[in-house]
Structures are given as C-alpha cells and as structure tokens.
Chain A
Amino acid sequence: MAASFDLKNDGVVVIIGSGAGGGTLGNELAQKGIDVVILEAGARHELEDFINDEWDSFTQLAWKDKRTTSGDWRVAKDFPNLPAWIVKSVGGSTTHWAGASLRFQEHEFKAATTYGKVKGANLVDWPVTLAEMEPYYAKAEAKMGVTGTNNWPRLPGNNNFKVLKAGADKLGYKECHTGNMAINSVERDDRNSCQQTGFCFQGCKWGAKWSTLYTEIPKGEATGHLEVRPNSMVIKINHDASGKVTGVVYGDKDGKLQEQKARIVAVAGNSIESPRLLLNSESSKFPHGLANSSGQVGKNYMRHTTGSVYAIFDKPVHMYRGTTMAGIIRDEARHDPSRGFVGGYEMETLSLGLPFMAAFLNPGGWGRSFTTALDHYDHMAGLWIVGEDMPREENRITLHKDEKDEHGMPIADVHFDDHPNDEAMRNHAYKQGQALYAAVGATRTFPTPPYPSTHNLGTNRMSEKAEDGVVNKHGQSHDIKNLFVSDGSQFTSGAAENPTLTIVTLAIRQADYIAAQMSAKTI
C-alpha cells in the first residue's frame, strides 16, 4: 500500500519530481526501507489515459506553464514561450521519452581533458569515470529492460529504420541497428512487449516503454515507504540557522501553500525547474539561492546539439508506423576533431505525425515550398541528430524579473546561444543525413531546425571542486549536506547520448549513497 506521511514528519526524504531521476530515486530508497514523499507538480495520468493524438496528448502531458527565452537559438524565435518539450505529470518526461538508452563513452566523462581548451566553453571533467558508473549502468539496464543488453533481443526494424539502414550501408557506416531501447522486445516485468504503435512520445498505452509511472512508482508504493503527492508544485526549500534544509513549501492541488518537513531534500524537476527552485529559495543566509556558493546554479544549460533530417522518396515509407526511435547510427558519436568540432553525435530514427510535422518541419514556413513537403508525408523518412553541446556560463536559467506564476514564483527565462562547435557539428550532421537519404534515392531532403528542448541538462552540475559546480559526484550539494540534485541538471557535460539511462544510473547510485550516509548519521 502506498504510504501517507504527515506534513510535520521530518524523518522523510522529500523528492521533488517523479521522472527518471526522482521516480527512480524514490523507489530505490523505498526498497531500502527509507520513507519517501515525492512531490510532483503534475497530475497522475495512468497509461490507459494516454492519447494517441499529438495535440491532445501535448495538452494532457506537457509542461505548458509560461517560460520566456532569449539568445540566438532558433527556438527563441519559433517557440518563444516553449523552450522545452517536457512533461508535467506523474512519471515526468519518462512518459514522453523515446526510450533510447545508451551508456556514455569513457572520454565523455573527461570532456575538459579530452577536448582541451575550447574557447567560449566552460568545460570540466566529471568527478566520476565510466569504470565507476559501469556497475550502475548494468543495474539501470536490467531495471529498464534495455534491448541489446542482458540477452534481450533488439526490437524489429520498422520502415523508417529500414531506410536509415539502407542509407547507412551505402555511406559505409558500420554501427547501425535498432538501438538499445528501454522498450520491451519481449514481455517482461509484468509489462507488454512493443506493439509498434508509433505513439512513443504520447505515452505508451501498452506499458512496453519503461516509465517510472508504471514501474518504479508502483513498486515503491508497494513497499509502504513511498507516497507520491501529485499536483504539488514546490516553490521554496526551507533551511535552518545552521544551513541544513528542513522542508519544502508547495502549492497543493487547491492552490493552498503547505510545508512538508524533511530530513533530506532531493531536487529532480528537470534542468529548468530545478535551478529555478534553488534560485527562488534565496534567503538572508543564501542570498544567491541554495547550493549556489559557486554561482553556477542555473548556468551551463545544455540541450544537445540537435536537428532533424527528413527526406522524401518516390515510393511510400510510412515512417510513423512502429517504434519511433528504434534505429541508430553510432559511427559519428566518436570524438574526431578532424571533422571540425569536438565531441560527436548520434543519428536516430524519428518521425512526427502530420500535425506535429506541420508545426515543426520549418516553423513559420508557408507556401508551396512548405506544403509540397507535407503533400508527400507518407513518402517521408526521418532522423534526429543528437550530439554533445558545449556548456557555457551565459547559457542559463534565470528568474524572470517581472513575471510570476500562479503561486507568485518568478517564471524561468531560458537563455541559449549556440556555440560555434554546436553549429559546426549540426552542419556536419545535416550534410551526412542528407547524403544518407540521397544515397537511397531521396528526391528532396530537409535540414530541419531543432525542436523545443527535450534534453535539458547541466544547470546544477557535478564537479570535483566546489567552486566549479553545484553538486559532488553523488549529486550532493557542495554547500548543504542534506540537499541533493537527482536529475539531468547534475550533468557535468552533455555527451552525445540520450540522457535518461545516465539519469537513472546516477539515481540508483545516489540511493546507495544516501542510504549509507543516513545509516552513518552524517545526514
């Protein structure tokens, strides 16, 4: 039975957010017998509530609260109040994610050492290595049912994959397959296998794709040590005179402010909300926000160097049928500065339904150049570029000076300027993607600009030294011992890989650390 904890219970671990980081950490702690309250800003929609319709699903799941944008990135022009396409619902963005689950490469944990001095980039090495992460990656893969690991077969390739694979072969790429996906290729963990439905982004109605909503959370609740409180928007973290955090203030489902006491607070609201909360928790003791003695809270915002390439063929493809992202080429993920940039990128199959294709193919576009592309929607194939972008101090989340949300909390502004390395990488990837489809006979290709960010990273980063970042190698804040960060905002650098597997891995590892520290009574 799910637990129910008193607001005044100061023995609980309070986790803010129920996605890949928060949902996993909550279950891992509950399994160890530790009492946990997860406060989730969104409502609880179960998988039968999910909708196979892009706009309706967006309305149901997306984080639509107003944000502002600035900087030279195209998203600021195309979607000025929607910098990120992430989720406000129990399960967080694990309801929406595509399932791609790749380990980081060894050198990506040592970005500063490997890439050397990159002008205009604020690179440091991670305080952890791949070797330290490997046993936890293995646990995460086993938990999530990642295909291509633990003898689970890879997913069968859909039409969009077959086009990608044919192009990869023509270009001489060697590592192309249907990916390492946290989507059941066989029934396991009391969940269905993938039925090739094609609405991965809208929430998997089969439950084949791993989401904390129907894995970690109910498992944690079954221990009697976990309570998930939906519609609970945390606006401030409180602390005592010694600087230890003591609880959080949140707006409840009726908009009333409540305070939940806590022994430990873990922030896992994704890389826009997490720094927003820390910054908004400023006090006379911490005038620049909590855990911010380094000044790095909110800085180094990364969103992966992205873009898409769509292509039209003279014969049908029906790319939208089947698993959206089960297809990858990894050859360009290597670090090879001879290409004109540091770091690398993955190419992964992607498709959008007609309504979102119209919205995202070329935002603002109109006229026949635009519409003749959509006329051949069923003859289209598509891939997504996801590559390492450079952390920059000026790319950051700040609190808006004037605008506030319904709880009186300043809304977030997201500033992002592309680094020249990002642009060089994107242009290289566009060229490769267009060449790939041309090699299979594409009659027209489209280098499609980035969508609102789905991978939001780095705004409370890990660092060896306290002056370089916000948290240590366990996600524990350098400044406050009982304050943790448990989401992608703790990423020191972005790497080329989709982030969820690494977020889950860090959460499993962090749970061990928190449990050990609690036993030792150091927190």
Chain B
Amino acid sequence: MVTVYEKKLVYEKKVGLSRRELLKRGGVGALLVISGSAVISPEHAWGLETSALKPETMATLIQAARDIYPHDQVPDKYYAIAVKGHDETAAKDPAHKELIEKGIAELDKKAGKGGYRGLGWEEQRVALLTDIEKTPFFQAVRGGLVVSLYNQKEVWPIFGYEGESYSKGGYIARGFNDIEWL
C-alpha cells in the first residue's frame, strides 16, 4: 500500500535526519529526501511510502512528473499523489514495475553522475525527457498524469476552477456574467 501522509512533523525527530543530513542528501532544491521506504518533503511536511517501487525511483518520478507538467504554484505533494498509482500498479504487475524502474534507471544513467534529480536546470531534465518521449515508459507516465494530476479537486482552486456548482445553485446569482473589463 502507498500512503501519502501529511502532518506537521519535526523532521529531525520523525525521520531521524538532522537538518545537515537532509541538506546533504537532498535532491533538487533539497526538496525531496529518501528515508527507509518513504519519500519525504520536510519543507512541506508530507511523505509518501512506497511498497513496490524503490523510494528513490518514486522521488525521481515525482520530479519527472513536475518536469512534464510544470506548474510552479502547485506543491510537490500533488505530483506525489499523481504518480503514486504507479507504485500501486507495480505491486500487482511485475511488468509495470520493471517498466517504471527501468525507465527511471535509464533517465538516471543518461543524466550522468548525480542522476536525473541531480540536474539543476529544468531545461536539462526536459532535454532528457524529450529524448524518450516516444517510449512506452514516458507515455505511461505522461498519459497517467494528465488525469491523476488535473483530476485532483484540491488543485482546482490553484487554477481558478470552481468545480461542482449544482449544490450552490449554479452561477445564476454567482457571477456567470460578471465580466467587467470588456
């Protein structure tokens, strides 16, 4: 099972890592760290436990997800939720596990020393993704994301989408024609 847990954690105690250790281990921008079977975002107090995929793989997958659909105003947590289905599928389907693990390993290899997450600029990482965009691995990741990222109700307000409206009586009294700048 994959769980995304969220709590106000004091990261030094909860995950047994010192701040110095965190910074030393840190991936891109020191945002995601690996501890045991989990990917942790100490800055934002959430973690993702993996069951089938390596937590390093999951961390790279989260970064790749952001590079595929980069929205600077969307926190990593939602990218983590968007890709956690791959861990669930991998737990049931060895072929899927291999697809993801091999795909990520290939990305890391292409990236050279420091791996995919070690590349400092989005352009560098996107160049690697562009090289593999025809592969089943990339298509599986991108195709899943287009639903799993954008269908999270929690992200809709970030984009200004209000979602369900029937229970609020529609927009007839809530701004269906409130445009003023024309």
Contacts and interface: CB of A to CB of B under 8 A. Distances in A.
Contacts of A316: 160, 179
A198 interface: yes
B141 to A, nearest CB: 10
Interface in B153-182: 156, 159-167, 169-172, 174-179, 181-182
Nearest to B165: A197
A326 to B, nearest CB: 10
A162 B172 contact: no
A53 B69 CA distance: 22
The 7 closest A-B pairs by CB, nearest first: A378-B160, A195-B170, A197-B170, A322-B176, A358-B150, A196-B176, A52-B164
- Classify chain B: how many residues form its interface, as a range: 35 or more
A321 B168 CA distance: 12
Nearest to A169: B182
Interface in A151-199: 156-159, 162-163, 166, 194-199
B1 interface: no
Given A353-B163, A367-B70, A198 B182 contact: no
B176 A159 contact: yes
8 contacts: A159-B175, A197-B165, A205-B166, A322-B177, A359-B150, A375-B71, A375-B159, A377-B161
A199 B69 contact: no
Nearest to B126: A367
A53 B164 contact: yes
A237 to B, nearest CB: 38
Contacts of A197: 165-166, 170-171
Contacts of A354: 150, 156, 159, 161
A163 B179 contact: yes
Interface residues of A, number: 44
Interface in A111-162: 156-159, 162
A355 B70 CA distance: 16
A363 B177 CA distance: 30
Nearest to B67: A367
B151 interface: yes
Given A166-B182, A198-B176, A354-B161, 16 more contacts: A55-B151, A156-B176, A156-B177, A162-B182, A195-B169, A196-B172, A197-B170, A205-B166, A206-B170, A318-B160, A322-B170, A322-B171, A354-B156, A367-B70, A374-B150, A378-B161
A427 interface: no
A375 B142 CA distance: 18
Given A162-B179, A355-B150, A366-B69, A52 B172 contact: no
Contacts of B160: 316, 318, 377-379
B150 to A, nearest CB: 4
Contact of B170 (A196, A317, A355): A196
B131 to A, nearest CB: 13
A322 B176 CA distance: 5
Nearest to A354: B161
In the complex, which of the residues A195, A199, A316 has the most CB atoms of chain B within 10 Å of its own CB atom? Answer: A195
A286 interface: no
B73 interface: yes
A201 interface: no
Contacts of B147: 55, 355, 359
Contacts of B175: 159, 318, 321
A277 B117 CA distance: 54
Contacts of B176: 156, 158-159, 196, 198, 321-322
A436 to B, nearest CB: 13
In the complex, which of the residues B71, B162, B182 has the most CB atoms of chain A within 10 Å of its own CB atom? Answer: B182
Nearest to A56: B151
Contacts of A355: 147, 150-151
B68 to A, nearest CB: 5
Contacts of B172: 194-196
A368 interface: yes
B140 interface: no
Nearest to A55: B151
A353 B150 CA distance: 10
Nearest to A315: B181
B69 A370 contact: yes
B146 interface: yes
Given A354-B161, A370-B69, A374-B71, A162 B170 contact: no
B165 to A, nearest CB: 5
A195 B166 CA distance: 9
A378 B159 contact: yes
A353 B126 CA distance: 27
A249 interface: no
A367 B123 CA distance: 10
A371 B70 contact: yes
